[in-house]
Amino acid sequence: MKLKNILKNIEFKLMQGELNLDVNNIQYDSRKIGKGDVFFCIKGFNVDGHKFINNAVKQGASVIVCEDKPQSIPQCTVIQVKDTRKALARGASNFYGNPSEKMKVIGITGTNGKTTSAFMLKSILEQCGHKVGLIGTIANYIGDKKIHSVRTTPESLELQKLFYDMVQNNVQYCVMEVSSHSLSLDRVFGVNFHRAIFTNLTQDHLDFHKTFENYYNAKLKLFKNCSTAIINIDDKYGKRVYEDVDNNKMTYGIDNEADIVARNIEIHSKGIDFEICYENKTEKINLSIPGKYNVYNSLGIIAACLSENISLEDIKIGLKKLQVPGRCEIVTKNYQLGFDVIVDYAHTPDGLENILKTAREFTKGKLISVFGCGGDRDKTKRPIMGDIGSKLSDIAIVTSDNPRTEDPMSIIQDVISGIKKDNYVTIENRKEAIKKAMKIAQKGDVVVVAGKGHEDYQILKDKTIHFDEREIVSELIKELF
């Protein structure tokens, strides 16, 4: 592709060289550069791409795109832009033929509910016969093909390649979890979102955003760049989003007046039954997963589907078929133990509160929780989660999650500093913590193992080990029972 075509709609200054030259590929990692490639110098948190200009040229780069003027101009074409992250996003889109414009992209953002909502929407759209792509935390999908995901929202170059692959495979809808990091770092810059769904906003990622206002403003970016904003009006930040955006809006809720409202909610261990009220019509809905928060998730998705003129019948069937790995997943349902073990991804204060309150609604005996907090992440939420876990459980077992480079016991101490009751124990080894919970569980009890959900690994110092809680529970059942 010609360099001038990659730079379309990007403001730049030509410092040296020519624009009418052919380039092979674009990269932001100098180690991946090949002959005739364009190298975008990205300023990261730990590494500044400008330091690798000479290395990129040695590897064969024919074009350098930078923010800062190089100390010595290399012997190639050099382009200066105001913001290389935005330039990379726009350039990658141009390189792959602006693929997001060739399908309907629906973005979902919020602290909790993104993954469940995305799987709900995928299920309904497939029920209608559409080919669907999904980008998210658990994995990326092109139709039925599952692709490993490294982060919730990929970097812009990988994202545009994924969009391109979807278009090549005749995907009509792309359902996308949009993280606050990706919005703040302009990974989705230039993507025109057909619909955008706001689930909620509670404490998380303050290690990155520093203030809650920054966190909110990052989320708000999505709704400034979509055709229709679909907003949870029961959430106080949802109300702010509603006031802060001027485009088309739809609202959903339970407690407040909204375009779509849920009524007569009945929650049980196998799911939820409720009614939706929309345009003076009432329709019964059944979900195969429990939890009031999943009523909210489904309302946002139902609103998006109704705005796409999808029938309520297809919506109901799609929701009934729903399966979401690691989200309120009862992993003991094929065993006759007398108690249940639930695995859930809840790793925020709000997420932990939601899953424990949900489990309490169908727990006949004791509610036993197993949870911890990840290392190298927002430390302020640790004592809050300790308080929630202890307060809402009969017995709380505080353990390790993904400690990363931190000392696991130091993290545990941060968690228990918020506990005001004496109904907890600490067990650093996560497998042993789950084992302890299952050993003390009796008939009618429910064990909630929170924090990892779908993940099949644990990050310890500089290594990642295999750790799948479904497998561990199965092994412990054979060992203990």
Of 295, 320, 345, the domain-final residue: 320
pLDDT at 161: 98
CATH number of the domain encompassing residue 427 = 3.90.190.20
Residues 114 and 54 in one domain: no
**DSSP structure string for 189-257:** TT--EEEEEE----S--HHHHSSHHHHHHHHHHHHHTEEEEEEETTSHHHHHHHHH--SEEEEEESSS-
Residue by residue, pLDDT tens for the chain (481 residues) are 999 999 999 999 999 999 999 999 999 999 999 999 999 999 987 899 999 999 999 999 999 999 999 988 999 999 999 999 999 999 999 999 999 999 999 999 998 899 999 999 999 999 999 999 999 999 999 999 999 988 888 999 999 999 999 999 999 999 999 998 899 999 999 998 999 999 999 856 566 657 878 889 889 999 998 999 999 999 999 999 999 999 999 999 999 999 999 999 998 777 899 999 999 999 999 998 888 999 999 999 999 999 999 999 999 999 988 888 888 888 998 899 999 999 999 999 989 999 999 999 889 999 999 999 999 999 999 999 999 999 999 999 999 999 999 999 999 999 999 999 999 999 999 999 999 999 999 999 999 999 999 999 999 988 999 999 999 999 999 999 9
What domain count does the chain have?
3
Residues 173 and 234 in one domain: yes
Contact 380, 355 (CB under 8 A): no
pLDDT at 440: 98
pLDDT at 107: 98
pLDDT at 429: 97
Of 267, 297, 320, the domain-final residue: 320
- Residue 306 DSSP class: H
Residues 161 and 13 in one domain: no
pLDDT at 208: 65
For 32, phi then psi, to 5°, come to -100, 0
Tell me the C-alpha distance between 469 and 346, whole Å: 14
Q: Which two tokens stand for residue 214?
A: 């920054």
> 336 is in which domain, residue-wise?
329-480
pTM: 0.86
- Helix/strand/coil for 355: helix
pLDDT at 267: 83
pLDDT at 249: 97
CATH number of the domain encompassing residue 293 = 3.40.1190.10
Residues 450 and 438 in one domain: yes
Q: Which residues pair with 249 in a beta bridge?
A: 229
Residues 27 and 125 in one domain: no
Residues 217 and 120 in one domain: yes
Residues 80 and 118 in one domain: no
Residues 389 and 248 in one domain: no
Q: Which two tokens stand for residue 92?
A: 């990658």
CATH number of the domain encompassing residue 28 = 3.40.1390.10
Residues 178 and 290 in one domain: yes
Residues 334 and 312 in one domain: no
Of 320, 352, 371, the domain-final residue: 320
pLDDT at 37: 98
Residues 6+ apart with CB under 8 A from 185: 85
Residues 296 and 406 in one domain: no
Residues 84 and 154 in one domain: no
